Copies of this chain bind each other. A is one copy, B any other.
Amino acid sequence: MKLKFKEIPGSIIAAQGFQASGVFCDIKRLGTGKGSNKGPKRDLALIVSETPATVAGMFTTNQVCAAPVKVCVERMKQGQAQVIVVNSGNANACTGKPGMADAREMVAFTERALNLPKGLALVGSTGRIGVTMPMDNIRAGIIEAATLLGSAVENADHAAEAIMTSDSRSKQIAIEFKLGGQTVRIGGICKGAGMIQPGMSATGARPAALPHGGLHATMLSFITTDAAIDAKVLQAALHEAVAHSFNRITVDGDMSTNDTVLVLANGLAGNKKFGVKSAEFKVFQTALNHVALELAKKIVRDGEGVHRVVTVRVNGAKTIQDADAAARAVANSALVKTSWHGGDPNWGRIIDAVGYSPATVVEAKIDIGYSANGSKKILWSLKRGQPTKATFKQLCAAVAPKEFELHINLNLGKANAVMYAADLTEAYVDYNKGDVTDPTTLGG
């Protein structure tokens, strides 16, 4: 379904009835800066709806799972929430029982600070692993953030900044569209630059049948909408949107302990509620897909050290699992990713990765080609396992742009999969090796 979306400013405060704020409360205990408008970047955000909202969420399937994720998963059952408190600088992961107590204290303290009934707050955290939360700073931050809530574009900017870690820029989008005669808005923010290959499910539980490649950042995304929608319908839409966006990206193949996507829908647009088989659902789904995919792509483009973004399209696989496995093998191959960095078409490394992937493939049937983003004109380097007459110069030109598409046709069936992937650069290595003289760059 193709729909016309009007992009509007304000991301998470674009929809009616939402407010946000972002403050600095020194969660990394740098000991620098005081107050929200001085010193280093903001590190605590609040996102609040005027009224209790329908909620849906998707969470990391990593078996090592952070305390805030566990608290959110528990609270999803009630289908309602009104506020999300998010901090950067500390993931509250591998923090044991004290970590769980801290996550529960974060939601309880937020509810009290905003005079909300118990149970309506959710929590997200990102940052270092294995470090106890600095709860005095957190409480001070929540109190300050509560006083600064507002629905100006600047408020969304502050919240989007506060959830960043290694991100070089904040990531925001909002759109407006018609749903059942009413004007509805969906907006979102997200963060994530490394430890990025999310594999999220509604409960954080792994699917019974694992994808071949296993499941593999912290990425966080918070989406708000004024659509009126039931929790189950919203969860179905979010599941589908994440399957085609956040769960299709990889920067470095590492799945985080904290990956979280939450959607709040407060119903203030006044549309009539709809079921999953309605025409309205299709419209809503298409709009949510658009928001989720645009946010997910922003994560890859801003990935740590990333110079090139490549859309890997595998077609003609026997099964969806095979298509997915082949796409992930290519998207995560160190040799393929370094060749992208070098502007090297290197189909040899690509077919090698396809061949060792768990997908069933037949060398003599594999096609490999390149196109400009969104173009249907594919330059094939390999057809049925054999090099074409495309010249090396032509192939180099095809992979020179900052973004391009890689097409792999297995010619064995009808299943396909796509991955939004990144190159591997010296800058990635340099960033992630940290600096042993500065422990704040290390340890998680």
Contacts and interface: CB of A to CB of B under 8 A. Distances in A.
A257 B252 CA distance: 23
Interface string A84-96: 0000000101101
A170 to B, nearest CB: 23
Contact of A363 (B65, B325, B442): B65
A253 to B, nearest CB: 6
A139 interface: no
A349 B254 contact: yes
B335 A432 contact: yes
Interface stretch (A29-37, A50-58, A381-389): A381-389
A160 to B, nearest CB: 24
Contact of A128 (B256, B348, B351): B348
Describe A's contact surface by its main secondary structure.
loop
A94 B386 contact: yes
A356 B434 contact: no
Interface residues of A, number: 79
A393 to B, nearest CB: 9
A352 to B, nearest CB: 6
B96 A432 contact: no
A341 B435 CA distance: 10
Interface in A389-444: 392, 396, 424-426, 428-430, 432-436, 439, 442-444
A195 B429 contact: no
Interface string A66-109: 00000000000000000000000001011010000000000000
A439 B348 contact: no
A212 interface: yes
Contacts of A349: 129, 195, 254, 444
Interface stretch (A118-126, A213-221, A234-242, A266-274): A213-221
Given A62-B356, A253-B332, A339-B432, 15 more contacts: A62-B355, A63-B355, A94-B351, A129-B349, A129-B351, A130-B387, A254-B334, A254-B352, A257-B355, A338-B428, A346-B443, A347-B443, A348-B444, A392-B439, A396-B436
18 contacts: A63-B356, A63-B362, A65-B355, A94-B348, A94-B382, A94-B386, A94-B387, A128-B348, A129-B351, A214-B329, A214-B356, A254-B356, A335-B432, A339-B442, A342-B434, A344-B443, A346-B442, A396-B436
